[in-house]
Structure 1
Amino acid sequence: MTRYLISPLALLFLLVSSLSAQTDLRVEPPFWYTQMQSNQLQLMIHGANIGRFQASVDHPGIKITKQITGDSPNYRFVYLQIDPDVKPGSFSLSLKNGDQTKTITYSLKERAKSINRNQGFSSEDVIYLLMPDRFANGNPANDTVEGMLEPARRNDPSGRHGGDIKGVQDHLDYIKNLGMTAVWLTPVFENDQTPEYKAYHGYAATDMYKIDRRFGSNEEFVAFVKACHDKGLKVIMDMIHNHIGDQHWWMKDLPFNDWVHDQSVYGNTNYRGTVASDPYASQHDTDRLVKGWFVNEMPDLNQRNQQLADYLIQNTLWWIEYSGIDGIRMDTYLYPYQDYMARWAKEVLEAYPSFNIVGESWVESVAHESYWQKDRDGENDGYNSHLPSVTDFQIHFAVRDAFNSPFGWESGIMRLYYTLSQDRLYSDPMQNVIFLDNHDINRIYSTLGENLNNLKMAYAFLMTTRGIPQVYYGTELAFKAGPGSWGDGAKRADMPGGWPGDARSVFTAEGRTPEENAMHSYVTKLTNWRKTSDAVKNGKLIHFVPEENVYVYFRYTNRERVMVIMNMNDTEATISRKKHLEMLRGYTFGLDVITGKSTNVGQDFKVPARTTTILTLK
């Protein structure tokens, strides 16, 4: 064998040449993993005229199955097959155009082996939803980042306020002590939008592989997930595949002409999610829903483009493996193409069987809501979403109406009964994520007349009915809606004490008002009790038609029985043992979960006014 010795100067020249050949290229995903569920990997390569280059690879167990040039000459999509026995490490991808050569050194990492990852979520959990920008500012140094378009403006209710991932991590004990078992952050992807748009909410991604630097870094997000897991908290990541922000780097150089839908043709969406499951929907309405832009600053993605669909699914799998998250909440689930969303959910859950996904399905009826849950019965269009969980807006509507209309044949508390009585339309209503409010809805305390008893009653219903409860940050403090002129800022106020220099801190009992402490104590007691009740977390539900403005239901297993009485009257109510005998037979008393007092259920008994009484039967 002939050996060639290379001088140090020549070696340095080759190293610099190799580096310069890579620095002008953007490659996504930035790295990948061995032994993934699928052996297919799509590399999106972006760089000047890279589409004219032909890729090749010479590495055992790795081969190119196809490569595609975009409509823009600045993209090359390279599909690789990676055999299961390929070891972690690096390999070289060569790109050649005539006498021009570029080399990409690409890393394959080993998959994480920890069992405390990708756990999913279920009715055993209570999810705490928060907006990082509004929760706590753990690192003021990243409030305004040089080179990014929008600075922090805490005096603007709809501007960036400086909350970040570190701020949330600093208060994980607060969340855990409330009794919450999972944390859902609104999107933390880079949203480098103009100040006029005000993208603090995170739903206008400009880079889907990068955490917004004003929230932290990719590494900080991974550390946050681990910190949550170490405290027994799961993490749900918010994603959006319907649209991006108009400042996304793609928009300066689209890979394909049909990468986003043409706004000049389809305008903006009609926001009518019911169209997607309407058997009589016109093509005009369907196109407006699916192809219309959400707002002018949010270009609508065309998942019918095969390369884009592959890119988005791969991005999801990358984040799951990279960060260790336990679930995903998919924004605007009804707005993209149905076949794409079904493919996405199916492939994600095949890759991570213990994982869970909830899709935002904001529609006006149980029938339209249930359409989006997997394996539903009674439908004839053949569609299966493969989606385990939906956001149960019908529970929110029912609670809102129950407290804001007088008791009647189809109004008041009857709305709770009628909503639950339609549960046969869902394939598994226990998988529904139920909530009183969220970041897109007016604060529930204000919706319920800013009456603390009403809020406690509604919260008790949330904690004891079927499904997976989600609690919006600040509900435990009876947050009110801000002035109408605030816009979305009215629903998304800061947590006092989350910022250095705040006059008080709601994270401590001393910093809370008497009303805030009353609600905080109630939420803490009830939510932590829920952890101990298998009947509430996993049991069956039986309810009785409300009478005289009182709604009674039971949650039960073979070993435990819980009786819940919602008395909507301003006076105490008498509960008939005879009416409820089928569930009370054999039980003589019940222990009040909140007061600890014993109630004799062996006879008719009274419950207090404007209270949800929860009795563990003995």
Structure 2
Amino acid sequence: MKQLLIALSAVVATTLTFGKNIDRIDPPFWWANMPVSELQIQLYAEDIGSYRAEIDAPGVSIARQIAVDSPNYLFLYLELSPETQPGTLAINLSNGDESFTLDYELKQREATEGRNQGFDSSDLIYLMMPDRFANGNVDNDNIEGLTEKVDRSDPTKRQGGDIQGISDHLGYIDDLGMTAIWFTPMFENNSPPEYGGYHGYAASNMYKVDARIGTNEAYKQLVSDVHDRGMKVIMDMIHNHIGLDHWWMADLPTKDWVHDVEEFGYTNFKGTIHGDPHASEYDKNRLVKGWFVPYMPDLNQHNELLADYLIQNSIWWIEFSGIDGIRMDTYLYPYKDYMARWVREVLAAYPSFNIVGEVWVETVAHESYWQDNAVKTDDGYDSELPSVTDFPLSFAIRDGLKEEFGWTTGLSRVYYTFAQDRLYTDPNNNVIFIDNHDMSRAFEHLGKDENLFKIAYSILLTARGIPQVYYGTELMMEHENRGGDDEAWRQTMPGGWPDDERSVFTKKGRTDKENEILAYMKKLNHWRGENKALHDGELLQFMPDENTFVYFRILEDQAVMIAINGRDEEAQLPVDRFAEVLDNYSSAEIAPDGKSIDLSDTIRIPAKTALLVELSN
């Protein structure tokens, strides 16, 4: 990164020579020999803006030092050469009358093997909300100084899930066949009780794990434990906004650090504006500069100091924790040139890394706009983002399966979505899903129809892209009709709390139906994990016919046929229609069990069924 800010503004107070107190330092430390050479120190202390710094250390020089609107901040930009050694860096600060020395730590980098691996279409991602998964340490449920307390009687409030609870159940996730875990944010969210920051998207400190979830070191150990099981970790980040109780808000560094809600109001939530060649400036400003909700001040990434701060924060977490990827929340709400810069600098520092942006739009054209080098309007924008959340495919699966078949409805929705893949640079790098923490649960959305649910899951595991499974989906979880809409699909996992009556983490604690669906999905998960045609194979599809739909994933001498019958009665499909693929293979077995099937004449598919057939020679 061209300019990496050591924002001296951390969660610890540091007592220095002559009794000068530095209230915050961001980041709290750095490393020598990083893949970026510049670093920013944002000192926060009373009247620190009147001080100037000097450094006399081999390989270290001060490139810039900046005082801002608030007298209580000082930003230092340091240039660290490859000769810079780990150790204590003495930074001498003086205002002419007083001086003191700040000791700043430059750590030795850890070995890179097994860290920052990225994620790709061979992975199967398990999405969880830490507060709702499992409570392994009841002693951290309520923390002095953090306003919101655990209240299990109210699903809109914090429930107490934590890092220890996740660690206790990593074997369950591993056994499911998952290869990566995406945690919704664990940053400190010191939100007022009436708002409820259990979800993690209203950060009050971007350098600290919420103490009710755990510690920074516990998070780092969790990443290591996940890696030891051969899985990966995707960290959820937010650069569009912070929480209203972020410590900045009591004393903003600059007047334009956040957008003025009195001037710009609240966002219009219309992400299609960015790709619209006819969009008004008024609508653009409302999208980018409006606050997301009253408790989430909108950040101004066109402030260079803030932009550097945010980019450096990402690099700090990647280096500190060893995570393998980032899911960037609300990707289309900040300034898009800033987001492109963020992606570019993060991937330049960690080339094996991967990033998926949350792009919640309804059409393929507007979704693909955000992927690197995809077809754009003539606006000169290059997103540089490798992966997007494939909402159009999610909507096509969820809505197509529950509606009557027509020329553009039913399974045709999935067909038409695939047919537009030419708009993506790499549709196989899209993160695909049938539900998540912001949507109704798939089983509920499909009218609690188990057969339709199984079709949806079969499409998820066989479509191009990187599949993501929302926690509890493996149990065909229904809604819980308490709290608001979000809480209906953000239930706690039974057995994750000491006083739960049963535990879905054990066979004995699950119902017969839960054991049945979990076994079904587990088989499919492991089968997909071993089938390279489903990771990297070409997708070839045939037009839907009376709500039947057939597509293939083809990779050299192996292929998978996905034959879907959305009707209420059995379908019989003539084999010769698919001869261009089937004639290339001599063996056919029903997946995942491996039972032989005769494809010489007619393919018979039971009502509301997805037939998965492995083809080989």
- Name the TM-score class by shorter chain: over 0.9
Shift of 1:329: 0.2
Q: Deviations over 1:114-135 (max 9, x none)?
A: 3100000000000000000000
What is the rounded CA distance, in whole Å, between the counterparts of 2:254 and 2:97 in structure 1? 27
Structure-2 change in CA distance of 1:244 and 1:258 (3 Å): same
Unaligned runs of 5+ in 2: 1-13
What is the rounded CA distance, in whole Å, between the counterparts of 2:169 and 2:15 in structure 1? 47
The amino acid across from 1:437 in the alignment is: D
| DSSP-derived class of the 1:336 partner | coil
Shift of 1:491: 1.1
Q: Deviations over 1:592-615 (max 9, x none)?
A: 113432110122131222111101
Of 507, 512, 527 in structure 1, the residue corresponding to residue 525 of structure 2 is 527
Paired residues for 1:125-140 under 5 Å: 125-140=123-138
The amino acid across from 1:266 in the alignment is: F
Structure-2 change in CA distance of 1:148 and 1:19 (3 Å): farther
Shift of 1:485: 4.6
Of 415, 437, 440 in structure 2, the residue corresponding to residue 439 of structure 1 is 437
What is the rounded CA distance, in whole Å, between the counterparts of 2:180 and 2:15 in structure 1? 48
| DSSP-derived class of the 2:458 partner | helix
Q: Residue 352 of structure 1 corresponds to which residue in structure 2?
A: 350
Q: Residue 257 of structure 1 corresponds to which residue in structure 2?
A: 255
Structure-2 change in CA distance of 1:20 and 1:613 (3 Å): farther
Cα pair 1:588 1:600 within 8 Å, conserved: no
| DSSP-derived class of the 2:460 partner | helix
Of 66, 91, 100 in structure 1, the residue corresponding to residue 64 of structure 2 is 66
Q: Deviations over 1:514-552 (max 9, x none)?
A: 221121011100000001100001111100001121100
Shift of 1:278: 1.2
Q: Residue 223 of structure 1 corresponds to which residue in structure 2?
A: 221
Cα pair 1:21 1:103 within 8 Å, conserved: no
507-516 or 483-492, larger mean C-alpha shift:
483-492
What is the rounded CA distance, in whole Å, between the counterparts of 1:507 and 1:455 in structure 2? 21
What is the rounded CA distance, in whole Å, between the counterparts of 2:589 and 2:370 in structure 1? 39
Of 144, 147, 153 in structure 1, the residue corresponding to residue 145 of structure 2 is 147
Of 157, 165, 170 in structure 2, the residue corresponding to residue 159 of structure 1 is 157
Shift of 1:586: 3.7
Q: Residue 213 of structure 1 corresponds to which residue in structure 2?
A: 211
What is the rounded CA distance, in whole Å, between the counterparts of 2:230 and 2:80 in structure 1? 35
What is the rounded CA distance, in whole Å, between the counterparts of 2:529 and 2:465 in structure 1? 14
The amino acid across from 1:562 in the alignment is: V
What is the rounded CA distance, in whole Å, between the counterparts of 2:99 and 2:608 in structure 1? 76
Structure-2 change in CA distance of 1:100 and 1:155 (3 Å): same
Q: Residue 573 of structure 1 corresponds to which residue in structure 2?
A: 571
The amino acid across from 1:126 in the alignment is: L
2:67 counterpart of 1:105 = no
Of 298, 316, 329 in structure 1, the residue corresponding to residue 296 of structure 2 is 298
Of 364, 368, 371 in structure 1, the residue corresponding to residue 369 of structure 2 is 371
585-594 or 331-340, larger mean C-alpha shift:
585-594
Structure-2 change in CA distance of 1:366 and 1:91 (3 Å): same
Q: Residue 499 of structure 1 corresponds to which residue in structure 2?
A: 497
What is the rounded CA distance, in whole Å, between the counterparts of 1:240 and 1:21 in structure 2? 36
372-381 or 92-101, larger mean C-alpha shift:
372-381
Shift of 1:259: 0.2
Q: Residue 427 of structure 1 corresponds to which residue in structure 2?
A: 425
How many residue pairs match? The answer is 603
What is the rounded CA distance, in whole Å, between the counterparts of 1:111 and 1:404 in structure 2? 52
What is the rounded CA distance, in whole Å, between the counterparts of 2:331 and 2:452 in structure 1? 31
Paired residues for 1:321-336 under 5 Å: 321-336=319-334
2:19 counterpart of 1:25 = no
Structure-2 change in CA distance of 1:506 and 1:521 (3 Å): same
What is the rounded CA distance, in whole Å, between the counterparts of 2:209 and 2:449 in structure 1? 39
What is the rounded CA distance, in whole Å, between the counterparts of 2:542 and 2:139 in structure 1? 56
Cα pair 1:589 1:601 within 8 Å, conserved: no
| DSSP-derived class of the 1:552 partner | strand
What is the rounded CA distance, in whole Å, between the counterparts of 2:125 and 2:18 in structure 1? 47
What is the rounded CA distance, in whole Å, between the counterparts of 1:404 and 1:484 in structure 2? 25
Cα pair 1:158 1:487 within 8 Å, conserved: no
Cα pair 2:369 2:375 within 8 Å, conserved: no
405-414 or 599-608, larger mean C-alpha shift:
599-608
Q: Residue 539 of structure 1 corresponds to which residue in structure 2?
A: 537
What is the rounded CA distance, in whole Å, between the counterparts of 1:599 and 1:100 in structure 2? 85
Cα pair 2:154 2:483 within 8 Å, conserved: no
What is the rounded CA distance, in whole Å, between the counterparts of 1:257 and 1:436 in structure 2? 42
* TM score, norm. by length of structure 2: 0.96
Shift of 1:326: 0.2
Q: Residue 6 of structure 1 corresponds to which residue in structure 2?
A: none
What is the rounded CA distance, in whole Å, between the counterparts of 1:194 and 1:351 in structure 2? 37
* TM score, norm. by length of structure 1: 0.96
Shift of 1:103: 1.5
What is the rounded CA distance, in whole Å, between the counterparts of 1:151 and 1:17 in structure 2? 31
The amino acid across from 2:203 in the alignment is: A
What is the rounded CA distance, in whole Å, between the counterparts of 1:30 and 1:536 in structure 2? 43
Shift of 1:146: 1.5
Unaligned runs of 5+ in 1: 1-15
Q: Residue 5 of structure 1 corresponds to which residue in structure 2?
A: none
Structure-2 change in CA distance of 1:195 and 1:20 (3 Å): farther
| DSSP-derived class of the 1:341 partner | helix
The amino acid across from 1:294 in the alignment is: F
Paired residues for 1:247-326 under 5 Å: 247-326=245-324
Cα pair 2:21 2:45 within 8 Å, conserved: no
Identity %: 54
What is the rounded CA distance, in whole Å, between the counterparts of 1:482 and 1:366 in structure 2? 32
Q: Residue 5 of structure 2 corresponds to which residue in structure 1?
A: none
What is the rounded CA distance, in whole Å, between the counterparts of 1:548 and 1:254 in structure 2? 60
What is the rounded CA distance, in whole Å, between the counterparts of 1:81 and 1:598 in structure 2? 65
Shift of 1:401: 1.6
Cα pair 2:116 2:318 within 8 Å, conserved: yes
Cα pair 1:571 1:608 within 8 Å, conserved: yes
What is the rounded CA distance, in whole Å, between the counterparts of 1:438 and 1:461 in structure 2? 16
85-94 or 482-491, larger mean C-alpha shift:
482-491
Q: Residue 393 of structure 2 corresponds to which residue in structure 1?
A: 395
58-67 or 248-257, larger mean C-alpha shift:
58-67
Q: Deviations over 1:455-497 (max 9, x none)?
A: 1110010000100000000000011122275331101000000
What is the rounded CA distance, in whole Å, between the counterparts of 2:128 and 2:213 in structure 1? 13
Cα pair 2:275 2:377 within 8 Å, conserved: no
What is the rounded CA distance, in whole Å, between the counterparts of 1:20 and 1:541 in structure 2? 68
Q: Deviations over 1:189-243 (max 9, x none)?
A: 0001100011100000000000000000000000000000000110000000000
Shift of 1:589: 4.2
